[in-house]
Chains A and B, each alone.
Chain A
Amino acid sequence: MGPITRRLAGLENRKGWTAVLLTVLGFALVVPVLNMALEPGHPLHVPTYVVQLLGKYLCYAMLALALDLVWGFAGALSLGHGAFFALGGYVMGMYLMRQIGDRGVYGNAELPDFMVFLNWDSLPWYWMGFDSFAFTAVMVLIVPGVLAFVFGWLAFRSRITGVYFSIITQAMTYALMLAFFRNEMGFGGNNGLTDFKDILGFSMSRDSTKVGLYVATVLMLAAAYLAARFIVTSRLGRVLLAVRDAESRVRFLGHSVTGAKLFAFVVSAMIAGVAGALYVPQVGIINPSEFSPANSIEIAIWTAVGGRGTLFGPILGAMSVNAAKSFFTGVAPEVWLFFLGSLFVVVTLFLPKGLVGLFGLLKRRQRRAMPKASPTPAPKATEETHA
């Protein structure tokens, strides 16, 4: 294995590679096989709704991974990442709307239902091109990427950091939510985009399409993980860590702090956009509530619970918090928000490195208990202090 490939994954040993490969295969192959090959009555059968639920969690995981790149590594806590997710979702939604064709309620092949309802007589210019999946796929990256580039350039160039950055990103997603609520925007207003029929010619109501979307999500999450791994294990990744810990010192070494942060922010927004684009066909709707500030805050909680600055942690955090959410909202919906709130408090106070940090702690303790084991390497320095 060449040095580039090794760095691509950031996995220095065979064990790490095997773990990642097995996890991806487990999710991408075993779950669909258990769903499709076994009869519904079989004890190992995975019902389709579980597959769909898992697909949704994996989209959230990708979103948390995206946030970790800017928060855990560059130290910029974005509380507006839901906006990039929603924009990716809207882009995919536009493609899915065009796929409906004349099967809408009004039977208009030229216009989506909501435009007919609003008495629009032609398709707005910004809806052009979304009949093509390839164009849509490019736009899923470009739209969140351009917003992140412009917004990030203005913010980072003006050296807006810490809580100020969090507040303006929160304001950004709120402003977008208000804008998307307006019917005049041409994105379906309050109701958003829904009633999708098929994707790439496959009917969305079929189980096999649902499983296909799930597999696509697993593979895209794996790709996003490897891309993020590549960045954080590169020299730029070390610049990002340095920026997180002592931003002004990095400048005196001649590195462009604005450039490094902007790169991380744009890549992160693109990953969030892809997550949103995979999410929408699996839940069947996208509306302006996806831009709500509370959603973006929840992403930060998943990331913190899993362990920021670890890439793997946020994936674990998003999946476990959302599994807990599904469980609690099923059995006792009134306690869910209390649970979420206390979870955040506990993690902030006692687990600065989240679940991943907890594993590390237990492992070290176990090793210390065994006298034969080799001495553990010096623990990572204390949690960084960033404003």
Chain B
Amino acid sequence: MPENAVQQAPRHDVLAADSILYLDGVTVSFDGFKALNSLSFIVRPGEMRTIIGPNGAGKTTMMDVITGKTRPDEGTVLYDGNVDLTKHDEAAIANMGIGRKFQKPTVFENLTVFENLELALKGPRGTFAVLLARLMGEQRDRIDAVLGTIRLTDRAHTSAGALSHGQKQWLEIGMLFAQDPRFLMLDEPVAGMTDAETEQTAELLREIARDRSVLVVEHDMEFVRNLDCKVTVLHEGSVLAEGSLAKVQADERVIEVYLGR
């Protein structure tokens, strides 16, 4: 491994220089099963990228590696061209500006909608700083603005557990707004939504993606087509194809493993 790293060092500099996320040869195995098998791809700053792939292709593991939940066995994961993400934990990575939206909406059900946003709000995260933190006027305004964007203003003081599924999804997207990340990962953001909700969610996402880099993991082909961005197809833990949706849909191997089914 160390030898490898030395050899690859010059390549990092060139390719990683203009990237927000850089994965090279990332391998993760669970009991001999390779969830990620030498996965490599690059996301440019400001880019929106969609990741598709059948179940077990390694999409969730990939996000776990990027957010520090899982340590890769091998490979390089760089953020912003020079920060080695494998050396940091989830909280540190979140504070660097990487936000993650889970497939199943996970909001804090015993807290109110407002309090959920308050916890997500960008700001000092030290234990004592949080203990003494007071909500300043501008922070309150920021939360109110987010509440408006996610259309939950009138539910601000109800507990998040009482929201509908779609509203929980929006609250989670709202928490990402409040967190104000530079790089955003969304895991099936429209799963389980009605058509109307999907439409509204796509609108919200377009808004949040405007000045950020975004990675979307998605199954819904219609939604992917609407996003209209570069697509990376994962299969058995590595990249099978990359390019526009039209291009990957025409790829023989992609049709075989995924789209053809």
Binding site for B on A (CB under 8 A): 3, 231, 234-236, 238-239, 241-242, 244-246, 248-257, 259-260, 262-263, 378, 380-382, 384
Q: Which residues on A sit within 8 Å (CB–CB) of B109?
A: 245, 381, 384
Q: Which residues on B sit within 8 Å (CB–CB) of A231?
A: 131
In the complex the two chains form, is A254's CB within 8 Å of B67's CB? Answer: no
Q: Which residues on A sit within 8 Å (CB–CB) of B35?
A: none
In the complex the two chains form, is B111's CB within 8 Å of A238's CB? Answer: yes
Q: Which of B125, B131, B179 contacts A263 (CB 8 A)?
A: B131
8 tightest CB-CB pairs across the interface, nearest first? A381-B161, A254-B94, A251-B90, A259-B127, A254-B95, A236-B131, A235-B133, A242-B108
Q: Which residues on B sit within 8 Å (CB–CB) of A242?
A: 108, 111, 119
In the complex the two chains form, is B67's CB within 8 Å of A252's CB? Answer: yes
Task: Give the docked Cα–Cα distance between A378 and B155 (Å).
Answer: 11
Contact flag A255-B134 (CB < 8 Å), given A245-B110, A380-B110: no
B142 at the interface (CB under 8 A from A): no
In the complex the two chains form, is A238's CB within 8 Å of B119's CB? Answer: yes
In the complex the two chains form, is B120's CB within 8 Å of A241's CB? Answer: no
A-B contact count (CB 8 A): 91
Task: Give the docked Cα–Cα distance between A37 and B17 (Å).
Answer: 83
In the complex the two chains form, is A235's CB within 8 Å of B119's CB? Answer: yes
Q: Which of B91, B99, B135, B161 contacts A257 (CB 8 A)?
A: B91
In the complex the two chains form, is A254's CB within 8 Å of B91's CB? Answer: yes
Q: Which residues on A sit within 8 Å (CB–CB) of B250?
A: none
Contact flag A381-B162 (CB < 8 Å), given A245-B108, A254-B125, A255-B91: yes
In the complex the two chains form, is A381's CB within 8 Å of B119's CB? Answer: no
Distance in Å: Cβ of B171 to nearest Cβ of chain A? 12
How many residues from B make CB contacts under 8 Å with A?
Answer: 37
B236 at the interface (CB under 8 A from A): no
Contact with A along B140-166 (1 / 0, CB 8 A): 000000000000000000111110000
Contact flag A253-B131 (CB < 8 Å), given A239-B119, A378-B158, A378-B159: no
Q: Which A residue's beta carbon lies closest to that of B106?
A: A249
Q: Which of A238, A256, A257 contacts B118 (CB 8 A)?
A: A238
13 A–B contacts from the bound complex (CB under 8 Å): A235-B119, A235-B130, A241-B110, A242-B108, A248-B90, A251-B94, A253-B94, A253-B179, A254-B91, A256-B125, A262-B127, A381-B109, A381-B161
Q: Which residues on B sit within 8 Å (CB–CB) of A234?
A: 130-133
Q: Which residues on A sit within 8 Å (CB–CB) of B74?
A: none
Residues of B92-118 contacting chain A, CB below 8 A = 92, 94-95, 99-100, 102, 106, 108-111, 115, 118
Task: Give the docked Cα–Cα distance between A255 and B122 (Å).
Answer: 10
Q: Which residues on A sit within 8 Å (CB–CB) of B111?
A: 238, 241-242
B89 at the interface (CB under 8 A from A): yes
Q: Which residues on B sit within 8 Å (CB–CB) of A236?
A: 127, 130-131, 133
Q: Which B residue's beta carbon lies closest to that of A230?
A: B131
